[in-house]
Amino acid sequence: MAPSGGLRYFAGRLVTGAVTLWVVSVLVFSAVHLVPGGYPDIVLGPASSPQVREALRAEFGLDRPLVLQYLEWVRHVLTGDLGTSLGTGEPVSAQLMRRLPVTAELAGLSLALTVLAGVPLALLAGLSRGRFGRGLSRLVGSSAMSVPDFVLGSLLVFLFSRFSLGLPVGGYVPLAEDPVANLRSMALPALTLSVFGLALVVRTGRDAVAATFSSPHIAAALARGERIGQVTRHHVLRNAAIPVLTVLATYAGYLMGGAVIVENLFSLPGVAQAVLNAINGRDYATVQGLVLVAAAVFIAINLLADFAYGVVDPRIRAGHRG
């Protein structure tokens, strides 16, 4: 029964993800096409004479029913063609490929920092019993949860540029050019983005560890004479992993928004900056392509998290929960 139950769980998640992605694509497309001053108006904007307008409408396929335009767009997206920038005439996918490494590195570094520092800290906080220690961790945690990334980033920019503390502020160096300089230029942006994630992981992990430790099967294991380290490894980590995985998926969604702010603040030439530029420049072809990709990535991450729950916790796979 376990394999079929597991298969059904994974397949169900996959279908939900696909349906969500479809609805998102419809929403993005209609938003960009139906709003006054949207895609068609930008394309036809410079044309004054009716003849030129007609020619442009035919060229961009705007004279056809909206449903067909949508299907055409989806067909192109499925073959890897995200459209052409209305500003520069460059294919959106080319721009995406050029900028993706920057954003991926930023997100990867932030996530790594969050997990590598967050999980041990969460264990430590969950196992500690002192009143002072808990109060302190709550105070630090809630400040880290509450500080907006642009405030934290601005503070770091100010401190590191005013007192020259050894890390460069702004000025992106490609990884291929000089790996060390690249890491140094990414350190502050990644730190800015990871603080919220750290707070999230520590807060959730601490509560999960504390809750697991107070459950009867831990007391039973300890009473049997198992060592505390062994109990932590065998019983606590696995049970506490689920909520932490959940907040990591949430954090991935936050990273996408946070990247817009951090890439803007530290002038990193990433995808998020391109989205912002496209919106400010009313380049709706780029907007719809990049937002769709971002939503797809986010949905994929959530799917991965759902799969990870299934792997970590057999009860979920078998459909006993939710």
The footprint of another protein (CB under 8 A) covers 16-17, 19-21, 23-24, 27-28, 31-32, 35, 38, 135, 138-139, 142-143, 145-151, 154-155, 157-158, 161-162, 196, 200, 246-247, 249-250, 253-254, 256-258, 260-261, 264, 275-276, 279-280, 282, 287, 291, 294-295, 298-299, 302-303, 305-306, 309, 322
Taking the C-alpha atoms of residue 167 and residue 182, their distance in angstroms, rounded to an integer, is 11
Strand partners, 84: 91
Q: How far is the CB of 298 from another protein (least distance, A)?
A: 5
Burial classification of residue 83, based on how many CB atoms lie within 10 Å of its CB (0-12 exposed, 13-18 middle, 19 or more buried): buried
> CB of 315: closest distance to another protein in angstroms?
13
Cβ closest to another protein, residue 232 vs residue 239: 239
Dmax (CA) of the chain: 87
CB of residue 197 to another protein, shortest distance in Å: 11
Q: Which is nearer to another protein, 13 or 235 (CB)?
A: 13
Q: Please, what is the minimum distance in Å from the beta carbon of residue 212 to another protein?
A: 15
Q: Which is nearer to another protein, 88 or 154 (CB)?
A: 154
Sequence-distant (6+) residues with CB within 8 A of 259 are: 103, 106, 107, 193, 270, 271, 272
Instruction: Supply the minimum distance, in Å, between the C-beta of residue 183 and another protein.
Output: 24
CB of 294 to another protein, least distance (A): 6
Minimum CB distance to another protein, residue 243 (Å): 9
Cα angle value 99/105/107 (rounded, 5°): 105
Candidates 193, 25, 195; CA nearest to 102 is 193
Q: Which is nearer to another protein, 193 or 231 (CB)?
A: 193
Whole-angstrom distance, CA of residue 153 vs CA of residue 278: 23
Least Å from the CB of residue 207 to another protein = 10
The identity of residue 60, as a single letter, is: F
CB distance 37 to 287 below 8 Å: no
Residue with smaller CB distance to another protein, 142 or 230:
142
Spatial separation of the C-alpha atoms in residues 57 and 25, rounded to whole Å:
22
Tell me the two tokens of residue 56.
């442009």
- The neighbouring-strand residues paired with 91 are 84
- Please say which residue, 130 or 225, places its beta carbon nearer to another protein: 130
314 token code pair: 């057999």
CA distances from residue 133 to 75, 124, 209, 241, 310 in whole angstroms, order as listed: 57, 10, 16, 23, 34
Q: CB nearer to another protein: give 86 or 287.
A: 287
Q: Taking a C-beta distance cutoff of 8 angstroms, is the pair 319, 5 a contact? A: yes
> CB-wise, 55 or 158, nearer to another protein?
158
